[in-house]
Amino acid sequence: MPFTRSSSSSPRSALRVVKVARPAGRGANPDTSASLSRLPADSLAYSLRLAATTIAAVRCGASLTLALARLAGEPPGARAAAQELAYGALRCHGRGDFILARLLERALPHAETEALLLAAIYRLQTRPEAAHTVVDQAVAAAGEMANGAFRGLVNGVLRNYLRCRDELHAALAEDEPAACQHPQWWLDRLRRAYPEHWREIVAINNGQPPMSLRVNQRRTTLAAYCALLHAAGLSARPAGGHALILARPVPIEALPGFAEGLVSIQDVGAQRATEMLAPVTGERILDACAAPGGKSTHLLEAADIDLLALDIDEIRTQRIAQNLERLGLSATVKAGDCLLPATWWDGRPFDAILADVPCSASGVVRRHPDIKLLRRASDIRLFSHRQAAILDRLWPLLKVAGRLLYTTCSVFPEENAAQIDAFLVRQPAARRLCEERLLPCDEHDGFYHALLQKSA
């Protein structure tokens, strides 16, 4: 039978639509009082409470990175469990909303309770053997939200979901955005751009990313670091250049020599930027959108260069400085807008420029699942305009015969090859030396790199 949000005209079924009441004095904003919880810090209820706070913040417009940063003071175990729940629920974009739309009379007026239901449904889908515990702990977490007004609703919705799970999932499989866990506009773009591969891209986006390392060639070798990993009970395989892919992800503190600068965490696809730009000792190079510094430090590890690491966000430039210090490297770090070179450029042209431009980040969505929720179709045009402006402003800063590497972590052609094609029309002195399109796969995320050279 078709599902409906109103039970008045529906035939009898195991599916019961739960009526929603608005508690007095409560709005749609997420609570921020998890730290006042009376739940045991090692309980699933507490982790669900933290996850609900995080998911609700994202659904209200915050980035997942910022939302998780608010949990910094929580016990490590609870924080890790909440992070897993939040990542999982957000990766399942559309699935939880599809299910709730069929179990609730109307949308919940309390953002955090709705987020709790999304986290709990994700947990029920991944741990079906613990269904009773999950429902019990979700109800306990609901008792600390909206003065406990939705405890009964949470209990009813989750038990109704368990009764009707097969029926709901059969209907979900027929709804493309929910089944593919991507917004429809995103799926439409992927289908147009990659008619033979779009389903593979979607499947990769919905999975777990690899944990990739970059060995600091100034301090150790690939073989020596692999030996350190082995001694620490970890294993990794080479992935080209100075890259390693761990057999399983581990906390940063578990990586031998990380604090001493022996290694950095960087996707294999991102490491291709330095390999393609190929810095030469003595060159003056600009990293125009440098924060948090992964590509800047890789350039410095590869050659003795004079590097200017620029970023528009002054707070994020501190991350660049911290990474430089940890790795024992030196560069000039400035806060500045690459669209306004007169405010930071000293007039001396660069031998090479790395333009890792702002983009949709559609190639790294498995690492940042909040992007599925926060991005809009209209954003692609906005990003494209800004990317074109950055290219036009940086090009005059390059020496004749100099190189500019244009890089995105997007898979949308409008931000990649189409962007470079248009730039080459605007700039007859620009020549495309090579380009590389990396679609997300088991080994790396999605990236695009185009190396340009300026002729006389």
Two tokens at 264?
């950095």
Q: Do the Cβ atoms of 327 and 297 come closer than 8 Å?
A: yes
Task: List, in sequence order, every beta strand (DSSP E) within 141-227.
Answer: 212-215
Residue 406: name the closest of 426, 393, 391 by CA.
391
CA distance between the termini of the chain = 70
Query: What are the Cα distances from residue 306, in Å, to 216, 284, 290, 301?
Result: 18, 5, 14, 12
Q: 233 φ, ψ to 5°?
A: 80, 20
Two tokens at 229?
């990993």
Phi-psi region of 86 (alpha: psi -120 to 50; beta: other; left: phi over 0): alpha
Task: Report DSSP letters for 26-69, one per residue.
Answer: --SSPP--GGG--S-TTSHHHHHHHHHHHHHHHHTT--HHHHHH
Q: Do the Cβ atoms of 114 and 80 come closer than 8 Å?
A: no
Kindly list the catalytic residues: 409
Query: What are the Cα distances from residue 59, in Å, to 93, 97, 112, 211, 322?
Result: 11, 12, 9, 27, 31
